[in-house]
Structure 1
Amino acid sequence: MAQHNETGKQGEAEAVRYLRENGYELVAQNYRYQHAEIDIIAKKGKLLIFAEVKTRTNLNYGNPEEFVSFTKAKLVMKAAEHYIFAHGWMHDIRFDIIAVTLAGNEFNSKHIEDAFS
């Protein structure tokens, strides 16, 4: 596996740990619909979040959250719409970014709520 794929998997695992530690329940990971993928779907009470995880090993080119493009956000929203209708979700939703930086063996997670608004 390429190093960037391994880094991404580590970042997603850290994001799941972070969300669970903060009271969220993991619903799904790597949910796919057509060409779109949602990294994490989590729930807290009657709130469903669709989270894009971005992981970087250094900040030389910017913060991880800066790499979520408009096109990526639209794809996540399209997949989320499919998920909502397929599962009959009738409560609130939110789109978040979890930016993870990895320095050596230390993770730093930054949770950005309502990131696509």
Structure 2
Amino acid sequence: MEPRPYRPHHLGRAGEDEAVRFLHSLGYRICARNWRGSCGEVDVIALSEAATATSQRSALSEISARRAHDEFVFVEVKTRSSTTFGDPFEAITPEKYRRLYRLAREWIALNHPRAPWRIDVILLLKSVHGFELVHHKGLVA
């Protein structure tokens, strides 16, 4: 019996959950999911692995105790069930990147004005065996 396909919203949520598990496995701290700003939404905001020295702290206290070399990571997650309509990376258009950039700057200005940050993209392709995942760090326009 073939597994039932995900509905688009459920597939996206499953992909975001998988991306968060992946980021945790790298030592990232999740600060926010589906954060809404003035021009859209960021799927995941995380604090990079440089912040993992004190693993018992919560994400919020970790943010408060941020060291100078920590980096916030704004993650766009793109999940597809097939490549019929193109590679997931093709969904990251120049306009999408500009929107992510504006959202990242907005969040940083509200929370940590001098903190370093970057934009990453996690691409997932659903297969019968789970997800195939590709992580692109430091996306630039």
> Does TM-score exceed 0.5, indicating one fold?
yes
My pick for the range that moved more, 45-54 or 89-98, is 89-98
CA contact (8 A) 1:35 1:75 kept: yes
The number of residues matched between the two structures is 116
CA contact (8 A) 2:108 2:115 kept: no
Structure 1 position 40 matched with structure 2 position 62: no
Matching residue of 2:7:
3
- For the pair shown, the structure with the greater C-alpha radius of gyration is 2
Match of 1:74, SS state, is: helix
Provide runs of 4+ in structure 1 moved above 4 Å.
none
Distance 1:9 1:116 in 2: 25
Match of 1:82, SS state, is: helix
- Listed as ranges, the matches of 1:91-106 within 5 Å are 91-106=115-130
Matching residue of 2:34:
30
TM-score normalised by L of structure 1: 0.91
Structure 1 position 64 matched with structure 2 position 71: no
Structure 1 position 74 matched with structure 2 position 106: no
Structure 1 unaligned blocks of 5 or more = none
Match of 2:16, SS state, is: helix
Give the drift of 1:37.
Answer: 0.7
Q: Which amino acid aligns with 1:56?
A: R
2:112 to 76, 82, 88: 88
Give the drift of 1:60.
Answer: 2.5
CA contact (8 A) 2:78 2:123 kept: yes
CA contact (8 A) 1:39 1:51 kept: yes
Distance 2:111 2:89 in 1: 28
My pick for the range that moved more, 12-21 or 84-93, is 84-93
Distance 2:32 2:42 in 1: 9
Match of 1:5, SS state, is: helix
Structure 2 unaligned blocks of 5 or more = 1-5, 51-69
Match of 1:109, SS state, is: strand
